[in-house]
């Protein structure tokens, strides 16, 4: 049995949710979350998502657990309208 060689921890890509989304307005794959700002004390903040192609930009409330994919979800809800 070989000894387990301790591998140096190189940058290990974790399974992250995607950060680039397709824009509901122009359909281009250029939708990116610009920033998620959260006040650590209050636990509230805002997130901005923007399309690099058509310039569609929206901001939504964010919290400490807000991920880019959540911001995108908010955008989709806002864009298409919630419910019927
Ligand atoms: Zn767009």
Specify the CATH number for the domain of residue 36: 2.20.25.190
Q: Is residue 5 part of a domain?
A: no
Whole-number Å distance, alpha carbon 53 to ligand 1 midpoint, is 5
CA 43 to chain centroid: 18
Closest CA to 22 of 35, 14, 32: 32
Q: How many CB atoms lie within 10 A of CB 76?
A: 14
| Number of structural domains in the chain | 1
Instruction: Write down the H helix ranges in the chain.
Output: 68-80
Provide the whole-model pTM.
0.75
Tell me, in angstroms, the distance from the centre of ligand 1 to residue 64's CA: 27
Query: Is 6 within a domain?
Result: no
Beta bridge partners, 21, equal 31
15 alpha carbon – ligand 1 mean position (Å): 26
Distance of CA 33 from the midpoint of ligand 1 (Å): 13
The answer to whether residues 83 and 68 touch, using CB atoms and an 8 Å cutoff, is no
Tokens of 67: 């991920």
Question: Is 9 part of any domain?
Answer: no
In this predicted structure, what is the pLDDT of residue 69? 94
Question: Per residue of the chain (84 residues), what is the pLDDT tens digit?
Answer: 567 777 677 776 666 666 899 999 999 999 999 999 999 999 999 999 999 999 999 999 999 999 999 999 999 999 998 656
69 CA distance to ligand 1 centroid (A)?
16
Q: Which domain holds residue 50?
A: 20-80
């Amino acid at each position: 049995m070989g000894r387990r060689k301790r591998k140096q921890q190189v940058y290990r890509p974790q399974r992250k949710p995607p950060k680039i989304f397709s824009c509901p307005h122009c359909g281009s794959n250029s939708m990116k979350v610009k920033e998620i700002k959260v006040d650590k004390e209050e636990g509230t903040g805002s997130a901005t998502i923007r399309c690099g192609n058509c310039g569609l930009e929206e901001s939504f409330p964010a919290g400490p657990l807000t991920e880019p994919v959540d911001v995108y979800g908010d955008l989709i809800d806002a864009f298409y309208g919630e419910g019927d």
